[in-house]
Amino acid sequence: MEHPIVTAHRDGRRRITALLASLGAADAELPVAACPGWRVRDVAAHLAGIADDALHGRLDGVATDPWTARQVDSRRQRSLPEILAEWAETGPRFEAALAAGDPPDRLIIDQWAHEQDLRGALGRPGAGGSTSARLTQQALRAGLRGQIDGVGLAPLRVVTELDDWVAGDGSPAVTLATTWFDLARTILGRRSPAQMRAMAWLGDSDPYLAALPLFGPATIDLVEVPPPA
């Protein structure tokens, strides 16, 4: 049976390619607010660059800002169709290599995050019920427990449309009621401190605002249309 991460990566690559393939040159240059300084085709360049770098063993500094910046800079002279054509060639080979090992969760978290970044920039919600979304939710949920415990905070109760659970060990001191989409985007650094503070909290939210995001937080308010239920 194929590893779920391999399946999710292939499905996500096809979804993103279908989303971008019909864009005109002007849309390819639209700014992506969730990725300051990047345009739509820069996000595509990063995604294609991951597959190319992995296949060629260029993994020094993997996932760091310089690593991702080089992926974008080296493709600045390519059009969006050229970038997508590269990904169509390297993506299946990358997925075949992933199938031979134990692929990390972060691969799908990154791909799903950037898919939503692109959809936000283009005003095209979707992919809420995808395997990528499910795996991302599972991984972020597990990670949030460690984030809360790691900074010595009391457990946090999280209530979403999908479940009701406690991040941390013991009785929760504070409750956060939100959607899975907003929780995921918050953890991935796509919400500003003001947006996090405005979420539905029961108890003192301030100590948790710094613990929620793995990256970021966003420097501006990001308003996104969530995927359909």
Q: What is the pLDDT along the chain (229 residues), one digit of tens a residue?
A: 899 999 999 999 999 999 999 999 999 999 999 999 999 999 999 999 999 999 999 999 998 999 999 999 999 999 999 999 999 999 999 999 999 999 999 999 999 999 999 999 999 987 667 899 999 999 999 999 999 988 899 999 999 999 999 998 889 999 999 999 999 999 999 999 999 999 999 999 999 999 999 988 999 999 888 887 6
Q: For residue 99, which of 15, 5, 13, 11 has the smallest C-alpha distance?
A: 5
Question: Cβ distance 54 to 80 under 8 Å?
Answer: no
Count of Cβ atoms closer than 10 Å to residue 176 Cβ: 23
Question: Which amino acid does the sequence have at 196?
Answer: M
CA distances, 129 to each of 64, 113, 133 (Å)? 29, 14, 6
Q: Is 84 helix (H, G, I), strand (E, B) or coil?
A: helix
First to last CA, the chain: 29
Strand ranges for the chain from DSSP E: 156-159, 164-167, 174-177, 200-202
User: For the chain, which domains are there?
Assistant: 4-122 (1.20.120.450), 131-209 (3.30.1050)
Retrieve residue 57's tokens.
Answer: 């063993």
